[in-house]
A and B are shown apart, each in its own frame.
Chain A
Amino acid sequence: MGIAHHFPILVVVVPLAAAAINPIIGMSRRKACMPFATFAVFLSMIMSAYLVAKVYFIGPVSYHLGGWKPPFGIEIYFDELSASSLLITVLGLLILIFSKKYIEKKLPAEKVSTYYTLVLLNVAGMLGFVVTGDMFNLFVFTEILSLSAYALVAIGGEKIAEMAAFKYLLVGAVSSLSILLAIGFVYSITGTLNMRDMALRLPEVHSLRVAAVAFALFIVGFCVKAALFPTHIWLPDAHAIAPCPVSAILSGLVVKTGLLGILRVFQVYRLTGGVLDLTPITTILAWLGTISIVMGAFFAFFQDDIKMMLAYSTISNIGYIVLGIGLASFDGLRGGVVHIFNHAIIKVSLFLTAGAIIHQTGFRKLTDLRGIAKRMPITMAAMSIGIISIVGIPPTNGFICKWFIALGAMEANAPLFAAALLFGALFIFAYYIKIVNAAYFREPTRKEIAEAKEAPLSMLIPVTILAFACLMMGLPLAYLPVRYVKPWIVALLRG
């Protein structure tokens, strides 16, 4: 009964408490905000790492808040899916380190401490979301992370950013409402809020219709958060207009919480029997994922703005993940869940490199950025590695997930999905090669490019670490996450 026993809750509560006292620090010493936030997230990271190892060697960890046994109190259930807390804290740490210089230049001085508070709240919300084992608690933390995300989009203060944030707010509020409504429905027929308890009691409810409507509301709500095809309208604006570190958090992590939510709902409802026999929901999800892949890639192809391109590419990759989940076969699920992890690393890396370039030159359009590779070689090299990863060329980590998803499509006897996947990969290759082409093989059209310098060290460190992670998570360590989530997927498929 040492302190390690309490890690599951401290992971969430330490950043939360840090966010609560961050404004006080910001009032007296504005410079101290960033080290303080970094330190809080770092503590959280250490605890996450310990827990992830513990889950791998011993099995899921359960923690009872207030000492009440579930279902009476709230339970924290740290399983293989909650291991994304390590991903969130590591990437959050890198993003915070990157933010230091970028935010100083971008925001007025009085908003700096608010920015760090919001990032801490966002990270704490995501951590709470992934570790919890209680439905209502899931909603509360959804709310925290969504609210802070809306505010972070608007923090730049331009009119267009406020409009994008407002759009995001409306769509996101509707999705939060539908999740809350679904929780209410499920509670009314099971009488419990604990997820594992709910999963036990759902098959024997007397009204399947309420359960089905609740399921539909859950899926719709989380799909909006994940920006799946029909509900993706808010994403390009919000992710392209926000400051770069914020775009990295949004695209890499916040969008993923929607997908993790979908997986949690499947965990509660089981993949077979009951409600899922009424609707071909997995097929619908697979089709929507396919449409997302093609649409996202298609729109991204015609963008000239680097961040717009990356935002649309996020939609495309969300499509890959949802397709993997929707195939509901062992390999497809493996590919989908691991792609959550890998896409987060790659997309954060790409957004941060784009941020470094924008910070140094002030340009966002590809036509303006011609010839940048000569001036910022390290940043551009890191970006190229990210690009190779996201296209899915074998020695990097993007390949392994797409391989598994394609295998899953073959396993489910749906070669059409595999074809769509390949088509999407080709399209992605086509528009990302535009970036490489503009940066490496074109003469500069702007004279500012010729005077641009390499990014400062506090930006280069996260960027190189992430590029290195893309390569390491490729062939050498590719099987690590795949093997890690295997027990969870086996349990899900067994029902």
Chain B
Amino acid sequence: MKWVLMLICLLVFWVMLLSAVVDIPPMGSLKNPTNDYEVTKRYLERGKEEAACLNIVTTIVLNYRGYDTMGEVTVIFTALCGVLALLTREKRKTSFSVMDVSPVKSSLIVYTILRIIFPFILLFAIYIIAFGTISPGGGFQGGTIMAAAFIIYALVFGLLVGMRRIPLSLRVSIEGIAPFTFFIVGLIGLLSGVNFLTFMLPGLSPHYQHFLAKVMLDLLEVGIGVGGGAIFTSIFFSMHREERT
């Protein structure tokens, strides 16, 4: 009976949503409001010289709607705080992972391959972060790749080695860096007399304006990347550990 009711409810909901989806303007047509309106046109036509950034996606995400991105990195930071509220951090003396106590260690092949490949993963992450303004990619993606490197490292070598290599004090100090970088960059704008998160500072020649805007955008990318990487690593360490009683 309960199941029948649930199915009926879901069916009604489904029909309602589908009826709306049918009515949405066709994707890609030039006539539909999202493409026909001045907002999109301006982003596409004038984004390059207004926002000092070649990648249109990065332009929108970091410049036109930078405040939203500030909110999004705060959401990730909040997720970390939620994990810590439930699980607390790993402790130096009592925490260990399955890898540390299992009788079967990882094989020599895995060790060696990981040792060789680890710097390359990090290099790739740095490339993705640094080239976020001119090619696909950016802070979020690079940060997750960086975190992936550390996570693989801790999985193979065990949590004890991982905790030594990526110390807690370092991670704590860079976890909040993503929202904080936004705050600092916004303050630079405030102090030079324009609105929060403005990249084109007034009173400079156009060449320097563009250069400074590029520097600030890259700074944001690095902040998001490093902060995101630290946050994901911390979440993994908190969830992966077990406690000696």
Pairwise interchain contact A65-B176, C-beta atoms closer than 8 A: no
- B196 an interface residue at 8 Å Cβ cutoff? yes
Output the least CB separation between A62 and chain B (Å): 11
* B49 on interface, CB distance cutoff 8 Å: no
> Considering the chains assembled together, what is the distance between the CA atoms of A216 and B24 in angstroms?
16
Docked pose: A6 CA to B189 CA in angstroms: 11
The answer to whether A148 and B82 touch across the interface, beta carbons within 8 angstroms, is: yes
Inter-subunit contact A188/B24 (CB<8 Å): yes
Known: A19-B176, A117-B81, A151-B85. A191 touches B36 (CB 8 A): yes
Does A480 sit at the interface, judged by CB under 8 A? no
Residues of A within 8 A of B77 (CB): 19-20, 121
Most chain A CB inside 10 Å of its own CB: which residue of B43, B70, B177:
B70
Asked, given contacts A191-B33, A192-B39, whether A214 binds B20 with beta carbons under 8 Å apart, the answer is yes
B172-A213 in contact (CB<8A) = no
With an 8 A cutoff between CB atoms, is A209 at the interface?
yes
Complex CA distance for A141 and B193, rounded to whole angstroms: 27
B176 adjacent to A21 (CB under 8 Å): yes
Q: Known: A66-B195, A191-B36. Contact between A141 and B71, CB under 8 A?
A: yes
Segment touching B, from A108-116, A248-256, A300-308, A350-358: A108-116
Among residues of B, the one whose C-beta sits closest to the C-beta of A147 is: B78
A477 to B199, CA, bound (A): 45
* Tier of interface size on chain B: 35 or more
Q: Which of chain B's residues have a CB closer than 8 A to the CB of A155?
A: 85-86
Nearest to B31 among chain A residues (CB) is A206
Q: Which residues of B contact A181 (CB under 8 A)?
A: 17
**B75 near A162: Cβ-Cβ < 8 Å:** no
Chain A residue contacts of B68, Cβ below 8 A: 74, 134, 136-137, 140
CB distance from B34 to the nearest CB of A (A): 4
How many A residues are at the interface, by size bracket? 35 or more
B39 pairs with A71, CB closer than 8 A: yes
Q: Determine if A24 is an interface residue (Cβ-Cβ < 8 Å).
A: yes
Q: Is A190 an interface residue (CB 8 A)?
A: yes
Question: Nearest residue in A to B36 (C-beta to C-beta)?
Answer: A191
B67–A17 contact, CB under 8 A? no
B64 touches A209 (CB 8 A): no
Chain B residue with the shortest CB-CB distance to A108? B88
A115 and B33 form a contact (CB under 8 A): no
Residues 197 to 218 of chain A near chain B (Cβ within 8 Å)? 201, 205-207, 209-210, 212-214, 216
Say yes or no: A67 contacts B194, CB within 8 Å. Answer: yes
Are A121's CB and B74's CB within 8 A?
Answer: yes
Tell me whether A118 and B85 are in contact (CB under 8 A): yes
Q: Which residues of A contact B105 (CB under 8 A)?
A: none
Partner of A66, one of B42, B63, B81, B179: B63
Q: When each residue 1-38 of chain A gets 1 if its CB lies under 8 Å from chain B and 0 otherwise, what string results?
A: 10100100110010011011111100100000000000
In the assembled complex, the Cα of A354 lies from the Cα of B176 at a distance in Å of 34
Kindly identify which residue among B43, B71, B82 contacts A137, using a CB–CB cutoff of 8 Å. B71
Q: Which residue of A lies closest to B171 (CB)?
A: A23
Interface residues, chain B, with chain A CB atoms under 8 Å away: 16-17, 19-20, 23-25, 32-40, 42-43, 63-68, 70-72, 74-75, 77-79, 81-82, 84-86, 88-89, 169, 172-173, 175-180, 183, 186, 190, 193-200
Nearest 6 CB-CB pairs, A to B?
Answer: A20-B176, A151-B82, A140-B71, A191-B37, A191-B33, A213-B20
17 further A-B contacts with Cβ under 8 Å, apart from A19-B176, A66-B63, are A17-B179, A19-B77, A20-B177, A65-B66, A67-B194, A74-B68, A110-B89, A136-B65, A150-B82, A185-B24, A187-B34, A189-B25, A190-B37, A206-B25, A209-B23, A210-B24, A213-B19
Interface residue ranges, A against B (CB under 8 Å): 1, 3, 6, 9-10, 13, 16-17, 19-24, 27, 63-68, 71-74, 108, 110-111, 114-115, 117-118, 121, 124-125, 128, 134, 136-137, 140-141, 143-144, 147-148, 150-152, 154-155, 157, 162, 181, 185, 187-192, 201, 205-207, 209-210, 212-214, 216
7 contacts between A and B (CB under 8 A): A6-B190, A24-B172, A68-B64, A111-B85, A141-B71, A148-B82, A207-B23
